[in-house]
Amino acid sequence: MNNKLASVLRGVLVVVLGILIAVCGIGTTINIYFGVVSIIAGVLLLLLAFYCTAKRLPLALEGFLLGPILITVAIAIFMEKLSFGVLVGLLIFVLMGLGFGLILLGVVSLVRKSLFYGVGEIVIGALLVLFTALYLGIPDFAKAFWIIVGILIALLGVAIIVFAFIDKPRKKA
């Protein structure tokens, strides 16, 4: 049951990420992601530092230093003084690599006699490769590209959720 719940939560997070990319665009989505992650990690590190201090454990120093740094980075992102949008170029190639990886994973799934998974992974991977190639080759394609990628990521999240309910338990060999 824990695996199913974890898969559903993972799927929901992927769906939300896809919707954010499709609606807000990639620059805003990256900033929201890093801002939220930075503030959560910073607060958790500070809480850990205070806990370690209260219990006289030796880990407090890193939390007292890194926690406020992460919170400050998050504030700068939300005030639009800092942007991680420069990572978009790298992300294009990451998405292209993800597409090739999904194609390979789909082939492995087909070899393992999983037609549904294999075809789905190959189709999503091929679409990622196609759209990243169009993005790199046609400059005006960027806006449509991020809408399409956001929808594909959301569909991948839905597939993760569906697979959580239809996946048969695997036998240990």
Q: Average pLDDT, stretch 68-86?
A: 90
What residue segments make up the domains of the chain, in order of their start? 2-166
Cα of 72 vs its chain's centroid, Å: 23
Highest average pLDDT, of 12-21, 75-84, 95-104, 143-152, comes from 95-104
**pLDDT > 70? residue 172:** no
Contact 70, 39 (CB under 8 A): yes
pLDDT of residue 25: 81
Pick from 13-22, 45-54, 161-170: least confident: 161-170
pLDDT of residue 71: 94
CA–CA dist 78, 35 (Å, integer): 7
Q: What does the DSSP 8-state code read for residue 90?
A: H
pLDDT of residue 169: 58
Q: Average pLDDT, stretch 72-87?
A: 88
pLDDT of residue 146: 83
- Those residues whose C-beta lies under 8 Å from the C-beta of residue 95, and which sit 6 or more positions away, are 128, 132, 149
CA–CA dist 12, 90 (Å, integer): 25
Count of C-beta atoms within a 10 Å radius of residue 170:
6
Greater pLDDT, 1 or 31: 31
Highest average pLDDT, of 15-24, 38-47, 108-117, 145-154, comes from 38-47
Average model confidence (pLDDT) across the chain: 87
Task: Write out 120-155 in H/E/C secondary structure.
Answer: HHHHHHHHHHHHHHHHHHCHHHHHHHHHHHHHHHHH
Give the closest residue to 146 by CA, choosing from 104, 88, 59, 97: 88
Q: Average pLDDT, stretch 72-83?
A: 92
Cα of 167 vs its chain's centroid, Å: 22
Give pTM, 2 decimals.
Answer: 0.60
pLDDT of residue 171: 56
Q: Rounded to the nearest 5 degrees, what angle is found at the Cα of 69, between the Cα atoms of 66 and 71? A: 110
